[in-house]
């Protein structure tokens, strides 16, 4: 009998890290690659704003819109059964105000189906991080979970919808 593996959630990743297990994260932009990566056992799929370069042929990620991110995030979530899907918040979708960041993150959750959103910026986005607490969104960060190409001085922060904690596995 074939059973679909349980969906990966942030508490599962925390347990994996505590156990010293490897956590695999790859970037996907469409349902086909998401399905292949998901079936291969990838734990997290990032829908990166790098789709501007890789898919749209742009020289920079700055022109990538929230609507484009929602479109590609929705495609990736349709191709995924197990992996936790993380969506990048593109340029100027969270830097103007914490309220703007919350509205745009909500769109990635609701319309795109993302389980988490990622923003960059360190102390300049501290008010946004504080605002997520008022919305009961939790940040998720950790050195071992960061992609290796992170520029120095730009820490990554993930925000996710709050979900019930899974029971601890034996």
Beta strands in the chain (DSSP E): 25-27, 44-47, 84-88, 116-120, 138-140, 156-160
Query: Is the CB of residue 76 less than 8 Å from the CB of residue 83?
Result: no
- 103 pLDDT higher than 50: yes
Residue 1 has pLDDT above 90, yes or no: no
Find the mean pLDDT for residues 85-110. 89
Q: Residue 99 — very low, low, confident or very high, per pLDDT cuts 50/70/90?
A: confident
- pTM (predicted TM-score): 0.74
Report the CATH fold assignment for 10-160. TIM Barrel (3.20.20)
Instruction: With CA atoms as reference, report the closest residue to 85 among 64, 108, 57.
Output: 108
pLDDT interval class at 98 (50, 70, 90): confident
Tens digits of residue pLDDT in 128-160:
666 655 555 544 443 333 333 444 443 445 444
| Burial of 143 from C-beta contacts in 10 A (0-12 / 13-18 / 19+) | exposed
**pLDDT on residue 23:** 93
Total number of residues shown for the chain? 170
The per-residue pLDDT for range 5-26, each reduced to its tens digit, is 789 998 899 899 999 999 999 9
Q: Is the dihedral of CA 68, 69, 74, 79 positive or negative?
A: positive
Residue 81 DSSP code: S
pLDDT in tens, 39-95: 999 999 999 999 999 999 999 999 999 999 999 999 999 999 999 999 999 988 888
| pLDDT (0 to 100) of residue 2 | 43
Query: Where along the chain do its domains lie?
Result: 10-160
* SS3 (DSSP) at 69: helix
Q: Using a CB cutoff of 8 Å and minimum separation of 24, what contacts does 17-24 make?
A: 17/142, 17/144, 17/145, 23/144, 23/145
**123 vs 12: which has the higher pLDDT:** 12
**120 compared with 32, residue with greater pLDDT:** 32
User: Across residues 103-110, what is the average pLDDT?
Assistant: 92
Angle between helices 98-110 and 126-134 in degrees, nearest 10: 60
């Amino acid at each position: 009998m074939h059973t679909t593996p349980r969906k990966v959630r942030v508490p599962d990743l925390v347990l994996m890290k505590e156990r010293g297990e490897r956590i695999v994260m790859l970037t996907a932009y469409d349902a086909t690659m998401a399905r292949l990566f998901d079936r291969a056992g990838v734990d997290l799929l990032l829908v990166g704003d790098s789709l501007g370069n890789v898919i749209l042929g742009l020289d920079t990620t700055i022109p990538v819109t929230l609507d484009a991110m929602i479109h590609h995030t929705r495609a990736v979530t349709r191709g995924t059964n197990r992996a936790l899907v993380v969506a990048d918040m593109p340029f100027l979708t969270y830097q103007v105000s914490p309220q703007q960041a919350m509205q745009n993150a909500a769109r990635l959750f609701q319309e795109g189906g993302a389980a988490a959103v990622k923003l960059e910026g360190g102390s300049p986005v501290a008010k946004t991080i504080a605002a997520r607490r008022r919305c009961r969104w939790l940040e998720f960060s950790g050195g071992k979970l960061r992609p290796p190409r992170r520029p120095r001085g730009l820490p990554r922060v993930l925000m996710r919808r709050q979900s019930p904690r899974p029971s601890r596995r034996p």
